[in-house]
Amino acid sequence: MSGYGGRLLDWIDMWIVDRPGTVVIVFLLITAGFATGLDDITMSSGTEQIAQDVPAYDTYQRMEDDFTFTFGQGTDTTQLIQTNENVLSREGLLRMLETQQRLSDREDFRVADSTSVANLVARELDPSATTLDAQIRAVEQASDAERRAAVRRASRHPSFGLAISDDFNQREAYASSTLAVVEHDVYVESSDVGSGGEATQLTDIQLEARRVTDSVGGDVRVFGSGIISYENSKILEDSLRATIPAVVVLLLLFLAIAYRDPFDLALGVLALSMALIWTFGFMGLANIPFTQLLVSLPPLLLAIGVDFGVHTINRYREELADGVADRRSAMDGAMRHLLVAFFLVTGTSVIGFSANMTSGLGMIRDFGLVAAVGITFDALVFGVFLPAAKLLVERARAGTRLPAFNSKPLGSEDSMLGRLMPLHLTVTSQAPKLFLVAVLLLAAVSGYHGSGVDSSFEDEDFLPPEELPAYLYSLPEPMQPGEYTTTRDVNFIEDHFETSNRDTVTVYVEGPMYRDDALESIARAGDDPPDSFVTDETNHARSESILTVIRTYARESPEFARLVAANDANGNGIPDDNLRDVYDALLASPYEDRAESYLTADYHNTRVVYSVEADATRADTTVDAAEMADRYRFEAVETGGTVVFQRVADTIFATAVTSLGTALILAGLFLLFIYYLLVGDPRLAPVTMLPIIVTATLLVGTMRVIGVPFNTLTATILSITVGIGIDYAVHVVHRFVDEVDASGDPHGAAIITLRGTGGALAGSMLTTLSGAGALYFLSITPLLKQFGLLLSISVTYAFLNSVIVLPIALLLWARRSGRGQPSAVDGREGTPA
């Protein structure tokens, strides 16, 4: 490299070979500085931290703030799940009331209110029983007949059906499970939940509430956002605790095979540790939380770091094997070649990972930033510190009786790997153009098939299955998974209660709803709805709204029915005059709570919940919900869990496509410029990008075949593929150009490249596969398992394309550019080296 860049690399090389001790001391001091940030790393997990970056989530939060839900799962509530008995028996009712009483007695729980079926039944037994003590006495004193009659009366209450399991038998007063909701006089921001601060935080409250409910007896489980947050963090910690030791052990094994020298192994491990300390220390100092997405970072940094390290040690050994007299000259020769390659790899990899910063999701943007910074740190540690430390160790060993170890480079001519790596050239170089056409056709077919890969954003991605693989419990005790209840309780609620919002969407309407035509507009919007909406016999969308509450109460209260009729100009049962009076009467009725779940206190905003077909896709439902919102005369926005999750899934897919396109374009432009400066031939840029594009298309095709969608973690796999693929490809291209310029024989240069650089790539590929395999086999959540699987596939494809497809493209480039003598590409055998 000429000019300023060349002088900079020469200056770095001078420091490495002439002042290695100074370099090592400076890097150790920097490591100590970054280590101070390790204590500042915070954990962040769960779906809420991701969803909050999409606009639909803001609407959802506004809606939650505006309405009082009858049986909600808000951030300031705890759910009690009672099961495994007849919860409507005397014992079952008393057990729930006693649980509510004990929770209310704890001042640190800040209980504002609690609601259960047991409360409703007790109030039917004694309407004056407004306290839990009075309700307990009412149930204790009631006969079985009185209790069954009270259950039948309570079942008519709007909240009863939401809080009782679907096996409820009214005649027998039987149900196997029930839900209770405890409201706390505390609001915890999502960023504070589970941070372990004051006892009023929901996580601390709900964890302590578990001990309280256990003291009551029976089977009463505690569930809520605090528990979910706690277990998400615990799952993240347990995943790291299981995978990191396994990655370290496998890493040591493969590094031992690659280096075959305990001193080089120790230096490699030290360099890897420094790169991780720098990266995670940077996260702590920059206040970037550690998320499930960043669990993929250590294997990624280890992959690039191991690659740099193996190339450094291997190239140094090659220089010695070629007859270089002294160690300084050998390291100088190695680094003059490698620093340029490291610069190219780092520049293009940083571009590839930084492409994730175009994402609409903050968690993915953080990943892009930290990955780019981490790759830069990798390059500094392995490109400057490691060769300097290696030179110091070699000088120290020279004056001692320490034994010499195997120092042959990977892929030496007489090794099995050295014979195997260039073997394919005997076939592929005979018809190179035909071979490349076949590869491009395969890539095109795979890319076309992969264009149909789904995008997904589900709670289940972040949660372990109810039953984990048995082999995880055979691991050493510190690596074994813990006990997780979130998945069990989420599935239980969805299977036994009518509280799931998976088959509904919500339209949030900003009124004023006291305008005379407000309720009529709600009714008209539901006429002839989109296909995914459930309809009644009149082809009207089935929905729940303030209008539903008005109609229900009008059927029960003749007085209220007369009020509605008096303000119904067209006689269709929908009041269209004096709506304030209608709302005032409704809020003074037993239906107050239900009305407040659909209408704000100032009568300005409302929400309408529409039922959707169970087999409708989330994408279709979201599109139809937007169409429904457009029908309102007021400002209306579609929202709800279905819509929010689909918007996140759409953003994830956009991230995958945009980051891939950005990475390829910017990396290609960077290589065009650099190769023009270095080689004088920018055509090397598309040659270098060829195996990367082929790898990316094969990967998306494989994703569709094995049924792995783009999610918050796998959405980054394409840009990671570009980063790793460029790493492999640039090393091959740079080595080939050096060798062909030195020997003038393209075919011989290809053989040397595959034996030397290809051998080093094989070592780094196997090391990366070990880390990815540990993620796949030892991770607890589907999200991490899928990423581990895709990373393994990506690394394998990148390696194969770099050592099989790329050399053929380089041989064609050499012929087109006039470099070297005629080779096998022209039908004649080159001179092997």
- The pLDDT score that the predictor gives to residue 195 is 41
Which of 477-481, 495-499, 578-582 comes out lowest in average pLDDT? 495-499
- The pLDDT score that the predictor gives to residue 30 is 95
Give every CB contact of residue 332 below 8 A, 6+ residues apart in sequence.
Answer: 13, 17
Asked if residues 621 and 629 have their Cβ atoms less than 8 Å apart, the reply is: no
- The pLDDT score that the predictor gives to residue 191 is 41
Region at 744 (left for phi over 0; alpha for psi -120 to 50; beta for the rest):
left
Asked if residues 519 and 547 have their Cβ atoms less than 8 Å apart, the reply is: yes
For residue 768, count other CB atoms closer than 10 A to its CB.
Answer: 27
Strands 504-510 and 111-115: unpaired
Distance of alpha carbon 517 from alpha carbon 575, whole angstroms = 9
Residue 666's pLDDT band, with cuts at 50, 70 and 90, is confident
Strand partners, 535: 541
Asked if residues 598 and 545 have their Cβ atoms less than 8 Å apart, the reply is: yes
Structural tokens at position 701:
């095709």
Angle at 26 between CA 23 and CA 32, to 5 degrees: 140
275-311: pLDDT as tens digits: 999 999 999 999 988 877 787 777 778 777 877 888 7
The pLDDT of residue 187 is above 60 = no
Region at 510 (left for phi over 0; alpha for psi -120 to 50; beta for the rest):
beta
- What does the pLDDT average to over 91-114? 90
Strand partners, 455: 710
Strand partners, 218: none
Distance of alpha carbon 41 from alpha carbon 47, whole angstroms = 20
CA 798, 801, 804, 810 dihedral sign is negative
From first CA to last CA, the distance across the chain in angstroms is 26
Phi and psi torsions of 534, nearest 5° = -75, 140
Of residues 61 and 155, more confidently modeled: 155
For residue 171, count other CB atoms closer than 10 A to its CB.
Answer: 8
For residue 37, the 8-state DSSP code is T
785-827: pLDDT as tens digits: 888 899 899 999 999 999 999 999 999 998 887 766 554 444 4
Q: What percent of the chain has pLDDT over 90?
A: 27
pTM equals 0.75
- The pLDDT score that the predictor gives to residue 469 is 86
Closest CA to 148 of 173, 131, 166, 111: 173
Distance of alpha carbon 84 from alpha carbon 493, whole angstroms = 14
Burial of 540 (0-12, 13-18, 19+ CB in 10 A): middle
The pLDDT of residue 732 is above 80 = yes
Structural tokens at position 330:
């050998």
- The pLDDT score that the predictor gives to residue 199 is 35
- The pLDDT score that the predictor gives to residue 49 is 65
> Chain-wide mean pLDDT for the chain?
83
Closest CA to 455 of 716, 634, 665: 716
Q: What percent of the chain has pLDDT over 70?
A: 90
Residue bearing tokens 């990367």? 692
Name the CA dihedral angle for 591, 596, 601, 602, rounded to a multiple of 10 degrees.
Answer: -90
Residue 726's pLDDT band, with cuts at 50, 70 and 90, is confident
Asked if residues 647 and 55 have their Cβ atoms less than 8 Å apart, the reply is: yes
The pLDDT of residue 757 is above 60 = yes
For residue 64, count other CB atoms closer than 10 A to its CB.
Answer: 15
Asked if residues 407 and 314 have their Cβ atoms less than 8 Å apart, the reply is: no
316-360: pLDDT as tens digits: 887 777 766 678 888 888 888 788 878 888 888 888 788 888 887
- What does the pLDDT average to over 404-411? 56
Residue 68's pLDDT band, with cuts at 50, 70 and 90, is low
Residue 408's pLDDT band, with cuts at 50, 70 and 90, is low
Distance of alpha carbon 607 from alpha carbon 639, whole angstroms = 10
- The pLDDT score that the predictor gives to residue 437 is 94
Distance of alpha carbon 70 from alpha carbon 283, whole angstroms = 42
Closest CA to 547 of 503, 591, 590, 588: 591
What amino acid is encoded at 332 in this protein?
A: D
The pLDDT of residue 197 is above 50 = no
Structural tokens at position 35:
């280590």
- The pLDDT score that the predictor gives to residue 194 is 38
Characterize 752-764 residue by residue with b for buried, 16 or more Cβ atoms within 10 angstroms of its Cβ, and e for exposed: bbbbbbbbbbbbb
Residue 193's pLDDT band, with cuts at 50, 70 and 90, is very low
Structural tokens at position 387:
């060769």
- The pLDDT score that the predictor gives to residue 756 is 80
Angle at 50 between CA 44 and CA 55, to 5 degrees: 140
Region at 350 (left for phi over 0; alpha for psi -120 to 50; beta for the rest):
alpha
Strand partners, 115: 181
Distance of alpha carbon 215 from alpha carbon 224, whole angstroms = 19
For residue 192, count other CB atoms closer than 10 A to its CB.
Answer: 15
- The pLDDT score that the predictor gives to residue 442 is 95
Asked if residues 801 and 694 have their Cβ atoms less than 8 Å apart, the reply is: yes
DSSP assignment of 437-488: HHHHHHHHHHHHHHTT--B---GGGGS--SS--GGGGGS-GGGS-----HHH
Of residues 92 and 317, more confidently modeled: 92
Distances (CA, A) of 486 to 322, 432, 483: 61, 56, 10
411-466: pLDDT as tens digits: 555 566 667 877 788 787 788 899 999 999 999 999 999 888 887 777 677 778 88
Distances (CA, A) of 671 to 7, 682, 683, 736: 20, 7, 9, 16
The pLDDT of residue 500 is above 70 = no
